[in-house]
Structure 1
Amino acid sequence: MQLPEGVEVLGPIHERYEEVLSVEALEFLADLQRRFAADRGDLLAARARRQTELDAGSPLEFLPETESVRQDPDWRVAEPAPGLVDRRVEITGPTDRKMTINALNSGAKVWLADFEDANAPLWENQVGGQLNLMDALDRRIDFRDEKGKEYALRPADELATIVVRPRGWHLPEKHLLVDGEPISASLFDFGLYFFHCARRQLDRGAGPYFYLPKLQHHLEARLWNEVFVRAQELVGIPRGTIRATVLIETIPAAFCMEEILYELREHSAGLNAGRWDYLFSVIKTFRTRGRDFVLPERNTVTMTAPFMRAYTELLVSTCHRRGAHAIGGMAAFIPSRRDPAVNEQALAKVRQDKRREAGDGFDGSWVAHPDLVPICREEFDAVLGDRPNQLDRLRDDVSVSAAELLDVAATPGEITEAGLRNNISVGLQYLAAWLGGNGAVAIYNLMEDAATAEISRSQVWQWVHNDIRLADGRTVTGHLVNDLIEEELAAIADAAGESFDAAGFAQAAALFRQVALAEHYEEFLTLPAYDQLR
């Protein structure tokens, strides 16, 4: 391959990779990295300083220095872009070839093409996923599975709008160096898709659209806006063509929702209630604050918990006040082909959840499986009717205080041995799959991704380090967790039989112990896990 000066590709070059990693595309990436790497580093350092302050007892509150932004009644975000006017159902999933076809064909209005939490960042997944998106837009994508079943795209007017989620600001892409340093994974994922597909999308009447994950401050949104402006200048398309929806999936971001919209207003497509990462962020941010910030086991924490209710109500109110879409959270249930009773009970909960979101004013919501698309659509159809959204529902009745956002202690539920075991088992199974290259894993009829694995290991860490007692009176200790890890490994091996990957699960167990039991809390499990990926 021919490479621009200062650019090194350390990953293997497979068939057609030169289409993605062209000289022009690599020059584009290098420009973004050289221009924005220092600012990214400064923002990550600011995150670390803020966490140190919070660990020391500093309050989390609405920012006094941006009160004028919140009080100004006049500003609005850009009008919804083509393909993003009606978002009543959005399906999420990684960018492998089969999922690309199934998601686009699912009947959902939007497909979140995920390079982040539903994706294990193998080099082949990152570059191959870009190829799949290019091929989908060119309608030259097909797939045949091991049973001979063939998959192909439906007519263009029946396909979902593609919205790409790049990896977060904290992650590197170690297989591509610019001036000797790994490029930002955010810029890598965003840049390749934008460079190759922006014009492809415009030619089809849509545009280059993105979901932005893991933001913790409005200045991180400002950096994304500067990236967007530069990218559009380099490629020669009008400023404002890009649209981005921000996932409010960290509790610091919940305190600056309006400021995030303001920073991105010419490129904004709204906010999303990223519920699983939000729970992870609550645990992580306040992990040393004692029992007032200890949640019950994860599967009992619903969106009706007072602090979660405050968060979603504030999100809808904030978005609609500024003319932005509010998109609801994930329905992660995976229908069972073997157990109708499990399906009936779980689907009733999904329907109830989507009915609540539509009734609260959300403009759409997420599902993880095509079988859930009709349920979500029915509930939003019942509220929206022929309207594409409910941006006109301003929710002036909502008033949320900092105390309400932080009222974690009011969450009902308990911590049982079964809940502890579930966290351990899910963590082990997910990490084994992730290290093997699969970032979206069906476990116990739920689609688990990095966010739910983060909750699992973070709860274990928090329970151990805060001497939490189980419902039966036992204290959660490192010794107890280690014993249960061995028991859960044996149960997984017994269920898998001859297909059990002993070496893979040994690696997963060692990593789980590192991120769940070590004295030092790892900020993201994907950082040490990424070191172990080829």
Structure 2
Amino acid sequence: MSAVMTQRPEAAGTTGVEVVAQAEGQDQVLTPQAIGFLAGLHRRFEPLRQARLAARRERQVFFDAGGLPDFREDTAAIRAGAWKVAPLPQALLDRRVEITGPTDPKMVINALNSGAKVYMADFEDSTAPTWDNLIAGQRSLIEAVRGTLQWMAPVVAGAPGKHYQLKPFAQQAVLMVRPRGWHLDEKHLQVDGVPMSASLFDLGLFAFHNSDVLAAKDRGPYFYLPKLQSMEEAQLWNDVLDHIERELGLAAGQLKVTVLIETLPAVFEMDEILHALRHRIAGLNCGRWDYVFSYIKTFRRHRDKVLPERSQVTMTQPFLRAYSELLIQTCHKRGAHAMGGMAAQIPISGDEEANEAALAKVRADKLREVTAGHDGTWVAHPALIPLAQQIFDDRMPAPNQRHVLREDVWVTRDDLIKPSLGTITRAGFEGNVEVCVRYLAAWLDGNGCVPIHWLMEDAATAEIARTQLWQWLHSDSLHLDDGTPVDFALLERAFINLPGHLGDRSRLPGASRINEAIGVLDRLTHADTLEEFLTLPAYARLD
């Protein structure tokens, strides 16, 4: 990447700000003006962020004591009202296929050139937040916005590497950026002795450097907001975005967002979240993997709500179908997009039969989404874009289908919380152990997006495996489908059997950190309390 530099009038002083790491190109991204801008965000919004996080903890205490999530009585008027969100910009009217992935230069170029309608550049679940990754990601996006990003593959066996460069702007996917969630800190930048919010760091730094360029192109900036749990958290985001627009001299409502509904509490507040962000929201997204993770975490102490192994928890299960259809109904009633979920499959080379079976699952999933009324969908690999595109083209000739109001849908609280039936197999249990260990080892080594058994695994899917293991092991009288008790002896045997599943460890991402990952998983599964997020204790081990 070439050097980048953006200058703006200084938004706030840099006194009391300490950057406690160094990465290539850091001074070109963290200019004094950018640091001052970030410090201003922190000082204004950090107390409010902490209040929202405290509210999350209080709510989980209620759930742990047997309480159940439900639609709020105090916001019934919002749900009953006839309001709509603001009109959508032209660039976001057609989002039928979106691709997601991390923010390294090669990925950014390939994703923007992929033929997808939208590329979500992800600082969250598919990025391990090493300081090098974060700074390199911001630099990549700064150059991509300006059309100058290039990347040269390394020389192999004396042969020159492939040269990657962007297609013309009109042929590129629309760029959206996903910052990390409210629960995460950015430890490398401290303001007044306190780590700043990772959310504010990621979004604020991108907005500071790129808002004027993107606004001039009528491209936002646009963002995906992850892991919200309440309308109050959405309102906090709206206040942050209002503040950024004022500080950067942007028009009110210039910054547009899509919110991922990927927590169980949030599904009961979708109208309220849309309302809180109604002047700038473009839609909601079915973040299915994080949603399953949140279901397990919310009901971690509820013995009657234990889910079967992950492969059996599909979107055709009644509680997930209710979630998807309620999201469509809610969005279309308010004039917003209802985005479908991720196809995690990646092409299987060398086995045509297995590859076709995997693609058949993708076809069925995308057909279900477009038939139900979704306006678009996600894929994890560029090779799946033509397949998803064709399915949506055939069934959705217009740019979207917000006219499909799904007035036939009637979803109750119990529909959303009733667990799916199924089993736990030995392969499913040991598969969870393998996914956790392999993903965590790669994450600790700086890689947040890892292909495992022809699925693109990220933090969300690893969290399902990790929380399922904890809940299964801390529940009473659970057995595998062959009658074997689910207990810590079974976990120990899974660790013993793990080398047989891993094969040649030296070829795996993060191979040198596999033993460390096993130790982390062992401690987390034995702990009396379920850790809120895998990435919280693991983050202390990065860098």
Alignment correspondent of 2:532: 523
Structure 1 position 203, deviation (Å) = 2.0
Choose which of 33, 57, 60 in structure 1 pairs with 2:69: 60
Runs of 4+ in 1 over 4 A off after TM superposition: 497-503
For 2:415 and 2:149, the matched residues in 1 are separated by 48
Shift of 1:399: 1.1
- Structure 2 equivalent of residue 383 of structure 1: 395
Change (3 A) 1:208 1:71: same
Distance (Å, rounded) in 2 between the aligned partners of 1:159 and 1:489: 43
Question: Residue in 2 aligned with 1:79?
Answer: 87
User: Deviation per CA, 1:195-234, whole angstroms, max 9, x where unpaired?
Assistant: 1111111122211111010111110000000000000000
2:370 is aligned with 1:358: yes
Correspondent of 2:292 among 267, 276, 279? 279
Count of equivalent residues: 527
Work out the CA distance in 1 between the residues paired with 2:62 and 2:412. 21
Q: SS at 1:151's partner residue? A: strand
Query: Aligned partners of 1:390, 1:503: CA distance in 2, in Å?
Result: 48
Distance 2:283 2:93 in 1: 11
- Residue 498 of structure 1 and its aligned partner are, at CA, apart by 7.0
> Match of 1:437, SS?
coil
TM-score by length of 2: 0.95
For residues 115-161 of structure 1, the C-alpha deviation after alignment (integer angstroms, 9 at most, x for no partner) is 00011000111111010001111122112223412211112111001
**Contact 2:442 2:510 (8 Å CA) reproduced:** no
- SS of the aligned residue for 1:83 comes to helix
| Separation in structure 1 between the aligned mates of residue 274 and residue 36 of structure 2, nearest angstrom | 30
- What secondary structure, in the 3-state scheme, does the structure 1 residue paired with 2:359 have? helix
Q: Contact 1:425/1:489 (CA < 8 Å) preserved in 2? A: no
Q: Distance in 2 between the 1:253 and 1:159 partners?
A: 32
| From 307, 310, 314, the counterpart of 1:295 | 307
Which amino acid in 1 is paired with 2:130? L
SS of 2:540's partner is helix
- 2:360 aligns to what? 348
Q: Quote the offset at 1:491 in angstroms.
A: 3.5
**Residues 209 and 496 (structure 1), Cα distance of their counterparts in 2 relative to 1, 3 Å cut:** same
Alpha carbons 1:460, 1:517 under 8 Å: kept: no
**How far apart are residue 512 of structure 1 and its match?**
1.1
- Whether the aligned pair in 1 keeps the contact of 2:442 and 2:511 (CA below 8 Å) is no
Alignment check: 8 A CA contact 1:115 1:126 kept: yes
Q: Residue 6 of structure 2 corresponds to which residue in structure 1?
A: none
Unaligned runs of 5+ in 2: 1-9
Identity of aligned residues (%): 51
| Secondary structure, aligned partner of 2:431 | helix
5+ residue gaps, structure 1, are none
Alpha-carbon distance between aligned partners in 2 of 1:515 and 1:330, rounded to the nearest angstrom: 27
Structure 1 distance, partners of 2:336, 2:510, is 47
> Distance in 2 between the 1:414 and 1:456 partners?
15
Equivalents in 2 of 1:499, 1:224: separation in Å?
38
Tell me what 1:221 maps to: 234
Q: Are residue 474 (structure 1) and residue 484 (structure 2) matched?
A: yes
The residue that corresponds to 1:100 in the other structure is 108
Distance in 2, matches of 1:489 and 1:42, equals 44
Cα deviation for residue 489 of structure 1 reads 3.4
**Map 1:26-65 → 2, pairs under 5 A:** 26-65=35-74
The one of 336, 340, 348 aligned to 2:348? 336
Return the offset for 1:243. Answer: 0.6
- The correspondence for 2:410, drawn from 380, 388, 399, is 399
**Counterpart check, 1:256 vs 2:256:** no
- Counterpart of 2:384 in 1: which secondary structure? helix
Decide which of 509, 521, 535 is 1:512's aligned counterpart: 521
1:444 aligns with 2:453: yes
Question: TM-score, length-normalised on structure 1?
Answer: 0.97
The Cα offsets for residues 419-450 of structure 1, whole Å up to 9 and x where unpaired, read as 00100011110001000000000000000000
Q: Shift of the alpha carbon at 1:71? A: 0.5
Supply the AA of the counterpart residue of 2:493. D
How many angstroms apart in 1 are the aligned matches of 2:113 and 2:351? 26
Quote the offset at 1:497 in angstroms. 5.1
The Cα of 1:364 is off from its aligned counterpart by 0.2
Q: Which moved more, 1:53-62 or 1:113-122?
A: 53-62
* Distance of 1:161 and 1:250 partners within structure 2: 26
- For the 8 Å contact 1:432–1:504, the answer to whether it is kept is yes
Once the two structures are superposed, residues 327-347 of structure 1 have per-residue CA deviations (whole angstroms, 9 ceiling, x without a partner) of 000000010122111110010
Q: CA deviation at 1:299?
A: 1.2
- CA shift, 1:300, in A, is 1.6
Q: 1:70·1:259 contact (CA, 8 Å) conserved in 2?
A: yes
AA of the residue aligned to 1:36: F
What secondary structure is seen at the aligned counterpart in 1 of 2:494? helix
Q: Which residue of 1 aligns with 2:328?
A: 316
Alignment partner of 2:339 out of 311, 327, 347: 327
Q: Distance in 1 between matches of 2:480 and 2:421?
A: 15
Kept in 1: contact 2:177–2:222 (CA 8 A): yes
Determine helix, strand or coil for the equivalent of 1:64.
coil
Q: Is the 8 A contact 2:85 2:336 kept in 1?
A: yes
Rounded to whole Å, the distance in 2 between the matches of 1:461 and 1:289 is 13
8 Å CA contact 2:23–2:131 kept in 1: the answer is no
2:498 partner SS: helix
Change (3 A) 1:474 1:268: same
Give CA deviations for 1:29-82 in whole Å, capped at 9, x if unaligned. Answer: 111110000010011001000000111011211000000000112x11111123
Tell me by how many angstroms 1:483 deviates: 2.0
SS of 1:488 mapped into structure 2: helix
1:63–1:256 contact (8 Å) kept in structure 2? yes
Distance in 2 between the 1:167 and 1:103 partners? 20
1:437–1:392 CA distance, 2 compared to 1 (3 A): same
Report the CA distance shift for 1:406/1:97 in structure 2 as closer, same or farther (over 3 A): same
Question: Which residue matches 2:499?
Answer: 489
Aligned to 1:454: 463
Deviation, structure 1 residue 240: 0.3
